[in-house]
A and B are shown apart, each in its own frame.
Chain A
Amino acid sequence: MPHDVTMPQLGMAQDAGRIVAWLKAAGDPVAKGDPLFEVETDKATMEVEAQAAGFLTGIVASEGDDVPVGQVIAQISESAEADSPALAPSAPTTPHESDALPDGKQITMPQLGMAQDSGQMVGWLVELGTKVGPDDLLFEVETDKATMEVPAGASGYLAATLAQAGEDVAVGAPVAILTADAPDSPVARSAADAAPGTPPAPMADVAEPEAAPATAAAAPPAKAPVTAEGGRILASPKARRLALEQGLDLSRLVKSSHPQPYHVADLEVLRSLPDDTAPRTATAQASRRLTARIKRAGLEAFLDWAQSQGVENRDAALAGLLGMGHAETLAIERMGRAECFAIARRLSQVAPSERAPELILRDLRGSFVQDVELGAEDVPVLTLLPKGKGLTLVLECAADHISAPGALDLLNTVAGRLEQPLRHLQ
């Protein structure tokens, strides 16, 4: 098998080398260790030794060529005749001759700002091959400052586009060619096709569109103001979150001249503001009522288990089970008596609290009540009722307490926990 001769990586930050000279000719016999060719990098010139014995064949890089590191430049074969035509040079870096550019006026990327060195081609506004006049908008360019449409600046047929949408093109680099006659085969190319380092072909009559008359659109529009009042409301992340969840409008506090920034405590003030809008009143009065049916056994087993784990207060265990993740405080109401618990991450840490409940569980398991429809109260209320051998769980809340999907989710989760409590604790 022939051994590939590649351009070696010689320096730490080197990506190409220039072949200064071949020290062997095609067909010459070489021994391992023979100097094969001389390479020049930015740092040094050195002789590269053959890494195999055989005959030098298939040379595809000539003296003076810059070759990327790792590219095959020749082979060492078992015979001098094995010059392999199959060894194709790497992908050409110059455009194919076949789609040569038409002669005509070259349109270049305009300079739009003082410190701008390139523009991004947003898109062509004229189809390839179309005839345009000097004032016709030809393409759209975006810089860091603005987006603008660029007029052709000359008459002619759009015979070639040299950049595609999304490409960055250096200021002054050609982006299109206008011809006097309709082109037979218009050319569409990417800016990436341009040979690196190759200056634009010298062409007569270069037309550079003026920036001034261009239809300059202002910089991208600013984001819509946060509130209709203009100006941002200063509020803590938690106050904002609770306001959002509870359908409270912080801008009403602004209107009432309540001083910013707003914290959770200010939401009380907000709730106490008189309802001043008819639609809001209507929503506030709307209430939701949802019902779930569950088995009874799981709950009893859970409370026994909790007790075995050292949670003596069965209501604390129940509050912890239902409240976790939904409320910071939950009150359990039974026959007119209510006790509020602060919910904690661990059941053993759920403890009685003086704070106002965020959620109420009305436990009517021991009662004769079969169903409730009491309407929304200050906070969402869950009611647990006996139903044959099982239980019914009803959620009632105001529409602005919880959204409809939120209410469904809450009831569904809580019902799931009541039916299979131990699974939820894993």
Chain B
Amino acid sequence: MLAVQSLWDILFLLALVIAVAPFFGAYLGRVYLDRPAFGDVLLNPMESAVYRLLGTSPRRSMRAKEYMFAVLLVNAAVFAFLYLFFFFQNALPLDATLAPGMRWDLAFHSAASFTTNTDFTHFTNETQLSLGSLIIAWPLALFVSAATGLSVAAATIRGFVRKDGTLGNFYVDLVRTITRVLLPISLLAALLLVLLGVPETFKNYVVAYPITGGTQPIFLGPVASFQSISWLGTNGGGFYSANAASPLANPSAGSDLLGAFLMLLIPFSTPFAFGQIVRRRPEAWPLMGTILVVFAVAMGLFVAYQAAVNPALVGLPGLAPQTSGYPVGQETRFSLPEASLFQVASVYSNTGANNMQIGAISPVGQLVLLFGMFTQSTPGGDGTGFGMLLLFAVLGIFVGGLMVGRSPEYLGKKITTGHIRWAALALLAHPALILVPFVVAVAGGFASTTSGSVPTSAHTFTSILYEFTSEAANNGSALSSGSFNDTTPFFNVAGGVIMLVGRFVPIWAMLAVGGMFSEEEILPPGPGTLRTASATFTVYLTLFLIIISVLLFLPVIALGPLAQIVGGP
């Protein structure tokens, strides 16, 4: 039975992040409006120097196509750099773990994974990643991928208030995101993590002599600075293969709560940045309300099922009755609600860090996590999660307008079939990227298990479904290890392609929709205008998002998680 007192700290933390979000969101808005903001005296001259080095200027605002081209170019450069670094890691500096160079398909999967803010890993950090790959190459992607997502969201939002067809300068947005958001907060958070027990050193390992004999190499490194940007940037990569379950990466309840705060901070604040940029603050609340309702229901279900007894272990001789939660795959130092908050915050923000073995939890818990990746937008990853929610809203307003006979417009911008085509493309790409590879993997015999080439258990179905969903949503949490082998060329190549398409097609759609809005005049509200800053619209948008997501995925969840819930193996 779960004690009510044990919920207090997570309720306090959620209240704190929701209370901070409007203020931090307003700050984010000022950053992207290029308005005077905290830190200008120090940062303005530095940023100007960087713009000169890049050969650009804030006055050179880009149209949607040019912005998209710049996004693709910068990310292609990061991808190429990572691919080459991983492929040749044994020949590059800081090869302390003596890891061999990655095979081409693993290097492809890893480079795609880090570039797209997914951070899904098909390798064991401690044995397959050189120190240089871990502390030089990967952190670069942790910063750039998060900054790309936020810049794209800012550009898309600007479309609502501009009439000249431009969305801003991608390079300027990238630089300002890093200097004013990601770098200062992750620096501060890294120091807090050290105070909470996380290592931060340039020594890469020490050899200990355990008291019962033998040796135990203990891997160390700049763990705190890695984890803080990994969580703040909703990346989710772990310094250790145990990710956020590792006692070195996440040593206490305090670091666990700080991690949850960092993962939710930017995604929860972005709706308020939206309100600030479009100069209509009440417009933030329907979007924030949708996020909060879905998140709260998910949290409640997850905690309740984490506290439930596993019937499969009841009555085992010599075992005391299960009282304090379900320990299999869990860490001792977190209370059940603390572990759950981190895990739900991580998957719902598309961070994908795990502080538990999610393959070991109840099937209902697994379904809750899957649902967060189906919506991708409650709240979703830094920037892109909010972008998806805006596309849901645009589609919802269009459909709702048809139903009640209102003219489909959002914030004075007319929604046309052009907008709908792009929004539908982004929303339909997601199930296509999950279901098509799922069928190919299962029917093609690529997901071979110990029991044969075609999986027969519901748990294996869930694992394969989870793998592709996590990649398509750029989430990165994994449930698969053990039930099938995902380190084959098939899963590396398919996974890499899914992550790249699942990242850049929705980004393209967001920028295209923002670009079309930016071409339009702003209409004054008329009698036929659907009021979007209202409770009615909040309820409508929430239901619209849930119904669309359930309809798209119901058949496939019946094969895996639902079959497990009703008692399949």
A joins B in a complex: no
Interface residues of A (CB under 8 A from B): none
Interface residues of B (CB under 8 A from A): none
